[in-house]
Amino acid sequence: MLTKQKQDFAKWYNEVILSADLAEYSPVKGCMIIKPYGYAIWENIQKNLDNEIKNLGVKNVYFPLFIPEKFLKKEAEHIKGFAPQVAWITQGGNKKLQERLAVRPTSETIINDAFKKWIQSYRDLPLKINQWANIVRWEMRPRLFLRTLEFLWQEGHTAHKTEKEADEMAKTALKMYHDFVQNWLGIYCVSGKKTEAEKFAGALYTLSVESLMKDGKALQMGTSHQLGQNFSKSFGIQFLDEKGKKNYVWQTSWGVSTRMIGGLVMAHGDDGGLILPPRIAPYQIVIIPISQDKSVKNYILKIEKILKNIRFYIDWNRQQTPGWKFHEWELKGVPVRIEIGPKEVKAGKITFVLRNALKREIVELKQFKPEKILNDLQKQLLEKSKKFTEDNTHQVRSYQEFKDTIKKKGGFIKAFWCGDEKCEKKIQQETKATIRCIVKDNKLGGCIKCGKEAKSEVLFAKAY
Amino acid sequence: MLTKQKQDFAKWYNEVILSADLAEYSPVKGCMIIKPYGYAIWENIQKNLDNEIKNLGVKNVYFPLFIPEKFLKKEAEHIKGFAPQVAWITQGGNKKLQERLAVRPTSETIINDAFKKWIQSYRDLPLKINQWANIVRWEMRPRLFLRTLEFLWQEGHTAHKTEKEADEMAKTALKMYHDFVQNWLGIYCVSGKKTEAEKFAGALYTLSVESLMKDGKALQMGTSHQLGQNFSKSFGIQFLDEKGKKNYVWQTSWGVSTRMIGGLVMAHGDDGGLILPPRIAPYQIVIIPISQDKSVKNYILKIEKILKNIRFYIDWNRQQTPGWKFHEWELKGVPVRIEIGPKEVKAGKITFVLRNALKREIVELKQFKPEKILNDLQKQLLEKSKKFTEDNTHQVRSYQEFKDTIKKKGGFIKAFWCGDEKCEKKIQQETKATIRCIVKDNKLGGCIKCGKEAKSEVLFAKAY
């Protein structure tokens, strides 16, 4: 039995991931092994997000895992941000290296070195590429999927003629993530700009997609950075414009990672285990034969024909009882379970249970419409997630109320902020809440911390 | 203009890869940047081979990039073989590591450490997993796609109850590669066992798929290893059999890599550049408008409808002449080029050129059957590759003839071998030819080197 969410959410999270066979820790501290069931979820995310990325006219490439130290150092903010997290290669094939190599913590620098050669004229712009790759950031407090020394991600990198074009690209990528998280993962999210303190090391500004987990903490699901001309100036990426004038390109980068799987677990799961959205679930339907009679087998053959567009699995395992299997597939979060025994065969019916509701339904075989059921389920998950987020988004009038709310309720707190990093830091020190994103510029209020005229309305939350 | 193949094949190879925009060297010595056109080929390989792998009941997973040094050392032959090629992490996040970590040169060891936990009983067997990953082997003489410090591959790893089952798995994986190379890449190949000297470090035996390149050198396209119980004994992977007895599992591993793209280039390419097999080509058809008239545009809209199941590209670029584009897309190896100008519009015809033949054909629009043309092309490439391999497979009667043939003609040499590593080594030293694979056991002849009774008939070749 799993630990209850209310009792210890972090423990529940770990237990679900291990017992549903998504992943496990490896003997290399901080690294994880993604097991078949977890990797199948990643493959579904990857395949469908890859389509969206390609629809933006972005092309896939592959850049080296290793980055020369001097590249990382070219953009001052960038190296400052990433240096404490870098794994270094100092030895190759029995020889000590003259210059050590970083294992990529992100690829802006090595990609920009290539962009410098690839970009000559305005005709080479916009340049839009993406790669699916493994990333290493030295991590001292690892948590499966959420924070691991190595993780899998995609990173988009683009170069543009103007600031406006790069602004638009950063927004477009963010919208793609926002829609993907809502429409595929069924998780409601809010988008906005990060504060200066929270932006990507080397960016002009960072946009992010944030979702609320069931324990009231926020998870950053994806980020999109307007890099300005910071990297193009460090790396000397210039183009000749239509008038023959040299200009530095404007750039963006944006990414999501295997962390999204952690989000899936924490946004939908319950005390019984995972609840997977149908569009991403490795199996959308599982069929549990109540007996192994010939008539049951033949009847299931008939059902298989109705499921030809569905990812399904028939659990014929003779070692386990149907009851054990119900429990197991609930734990694994399969959206729909079908139970077929002699009773169903005789009546020409189908018994099924929706993972989200855990209520048994019985219908005539002819009236069983799996596509519709799965579509409805997908929508319900998003609605539920939206309602949960709205119910747990609080407006507060005083800093005392802020502190009480964060402590007792968690969730998002919408509040005014003066824009001063000192207030931001103090709030974090006192409450552990950080500004997840700036919702909008709004001066019609006082800063929740210092009371001075606000600059913007922001969302606070404790976050992963 | 490209260097001619006959003049300098190695130079031609490099020029084609760079000018067709498949890949380029990175500033990290030995690593490559796979560019969009090259990566699109890899994606097509990956997608289709992944289907074949899944059809064998193999499930995808992801294991860590880093391997503790002590793991690599557990299997004695394995570390001996790989130690000179390993890149070592000695520092993580500003701290020196207590035990250095290898960047995976292959993943048997870290996977077997997990198998030890995953396998308890015969019911857990067979266990069949695969991962798509990046691999690092320190390489001092890099060549794009063929030998790079980092490359992309898939590695299958399986565990079985019996030696026979593992034998069969190793054979099945090899057959999958053999069929894939022939049916998808259109490259003829021969399969066989490797000699003891050439087998994988730690394997019982290695099977390989070998193809002949246009310069008469062989390229190993894929390998499949029967690992015996070497790793299971080193890592202690035991299972309880049906009778309650503990046994060590029998294992296999098998892989192919981005090296296959190098094979595509060298097996099919000509002095004009790449020739891509339709099933793998990023674009199967390119349309070149001879003018940008409205009537041409409308006519091309009509053609697009015929191409709805085809990967095609319309080159509307106004900066370049049609002649420049013909040359460019020939270089990039697109199987079929369609040329549409006012002449075609007026006559209701279509002009097309097959990359493989470079002969202009004109047919009525209605009679243009792209699927059939592409299917025929795919078959022709394999037939051509088969004929080339047969024409360049030589039988020799004396060692002198062997030496002359290798020097003047290249290709495969089918010869008898006594089975002694000394003869194998001497032949390599004197001619640079190695035994690519053992064709069959056959004692009815004398060793090509020492004249003693043969053990088997083998294929020799100079190889990449």
- For every residue of A304-355, DSSP letters joined together read HHHTTTS-EEE---SSS-HHHHHHHHHHTT-SEEEEE-HHHHHHTEEEEEET
d(CA A405, CA A398) in angstroms, rounded, equals 11
How many angstroms away from the CA of A48 is the closest CA of chain B?
14
* Cβ–Cβ gap A140/B60 under 8 Å: no
* Cβ–Cβ gap A87/B92 under 8 Å: yes
Q: Which CATH superfamily is domain A393-461 in?
A: C-terminal domain of ProRS (3.30.110.30)
* pLDDT for the residue numbered A343: 96
pLDDT tens for residues A321-370? 999 999 999 999 999 999 999 999 999 999 999 999 888 999 999 999 99
B140 pLDDT tier (thresholds 50, 70, 90): confident
Select from A191, A154, A190, A167 the least CA-distant residue to A52.
Answer: A154
Residue A89 above 90 pLDDT?
A: yes
Q: Which of residues 112-141 of A touch B (CB under 8 A)?
A: 113-114, 123, 129, 133-134, 136, 138, 140
* pLDDT for the residue numbered A94: 84
Select from B142, B149, B58 the least CA-distant residue to B103.
Answer: B149
Contact residues on chain B for A123, CB-CB shorter than 8 A? 319
* pLDDT for the residue numbered A80: 87
The pairing of strands A238-240 and A246-248 is: antiparallel
- Token pair 């349309």: residue: B287
Residue B139 above 90 pLDDT?
A: no
Query: How many CB contacts within 8 angstroms connect chain A with chain B?
Result: 150
How many other C-beta atoms are found inside a 10 Å radius of the C-beta of residue B460?
27
* pLDDT for the residue numbered A64: 98
pLDDT tens for residues B250-285? 999 999 999 999 999 999 999 999 999 999 999 999
* pLDDT for the residue numbered A313: 98
What would the CATH number be for the domain defined by B285-374? 3.40.50.800
Residue B52 above 90 pLDDT?
A: yes
d(CA B333, CA B268) in angstroms, rounded, equals 9
Report residue B209: phi and psi, to 5°: -110, 125
Q: Which of residues 60-89 of B touch A (CB under 8 A)?
A: 60-68, 71, 83-89
B18 pLDDT tier (thresholds 50, 70, 90): very high
Nearest CB to B129; choose among A36, A86, A93? A36
* pLDDT for the residue numbered A169: 98
Joined together, the tokens standing for residue B63 give 């294991």
* pLDDT for the residue numbered A78: 84
Contact residues on chain B for A69, CB-CB shorter than 8 A? none
Where along chain A do the CATH 3.40.50.800 domains lie?
Answer: 285-373
Residues 6+ apart with CB under 8 A from B450: B418, B420, B423
Provide mean pLDDT across the span B120-149: 96
Mutation target among A65, A86, A123, A317 for the B interface, most CBs of B within 10 A? A65
Residue A81 above 90 pLDDT?
A: no
* Cβ–Cβ gap B31/A66 under 8 Å: yes
Architecture in CATH of B35-266: 2-Layer Sandwich (3.30)
* pLDDT for the residue numbered A190: 97
Find the range with the poorest average confidence among B59-63, B164-168, B298-302, B441-445: B441-445
A442 pLDDT tier (thresholds 50, 70, 90): confident
Q: Which of residues 2-41 of A touch B (CB under 8 A)?
A: 24, 26-28, 31-36, 39-40
- The mean of the pLDDT values for chain B is 96
A83 pLDDT tier (thresholds 50, 70, 90): confident
* Cβ–Cβ gap A110/B136 under 8 Å: no
Residue A76 above 90 pLDDT?
A: no
B369 pLDDT tier (thresholds 50, 70, 90): very high
Fold category of A285-373 in CATH: Rossmann fold (3.40.50)
Residue B83 above 90 pLDDT?
A: no
Select from B76, B107, B104, B65 the least CA-distant residue to B201.
Answer: B76
Provide mean pLDDT across the span A72-77: 87
Joined together, the tokens standing for residue A40 give 């199948």
* pLDDT for the residue numbered A460: 98
How many angstroms away from the CA of A200 is the closest CA of chain B?
18
Q: Decide which of A359 and A51 is more confident.
A: A51
Provide mean pLDDT across the span A16-22: 98
Where along chain B do the CATH 3.30.930.10 domains lie?
Answer: 35-266
Nearest CB to A114; choose among B33, B43, B90? B33
Mutation target among A18, A24, A28, A137 for the B interface, most CBs of B within 10 A? A28
* Cβ–Cβ gap A94/B83 under 8 Å: yes
Nearest CB to A91; choose among B24, B90, B136? B90
B129 pLDDT tier (thresholds 50, 70, 90): very high
Where along chain B do the CATH 3.40.50.800 domains lie?
Answer: 285-374
Q: Which CATH superfamily is domain B391-461 in?
A: C-terminal domain of ProRS (3.30.110.30)
* pLDDT for the residue numbered B79: 86
Residue B160 above 90 pLDDT?
A: yes
Contact residues on chain A for B129, CB-CB shorter than 8 A? 36
* pLDDT for the residue numbered B303: 96
Report residue A399: phi and psi, to 5°: -65, -30
Nearest CB to A84; choose among B36, B93, B138? B93
Where along chain A do the CATH 3.30.930.10 domains lie?
Answer: 21-268
Share of chain B above pLDDT 70, in %: 100
* pLDDT for the residue numbered A205: 97
B51 — contact with chain A (CB < 8 Å)?
Answer: no
What would the CATH number be for the domain defined by A21-268? 3.30.930.10
Residue B94 above 90 pLDDT?
A: no
Provide mean pLDDT across the span B318-345: 97
In B, minimum Cα distance to A101 occurs at: B28
Provide mean pLDDT across the span A460-464: 97
How many angstroms away from the CA of B131 is the closest CA of chain A?
10
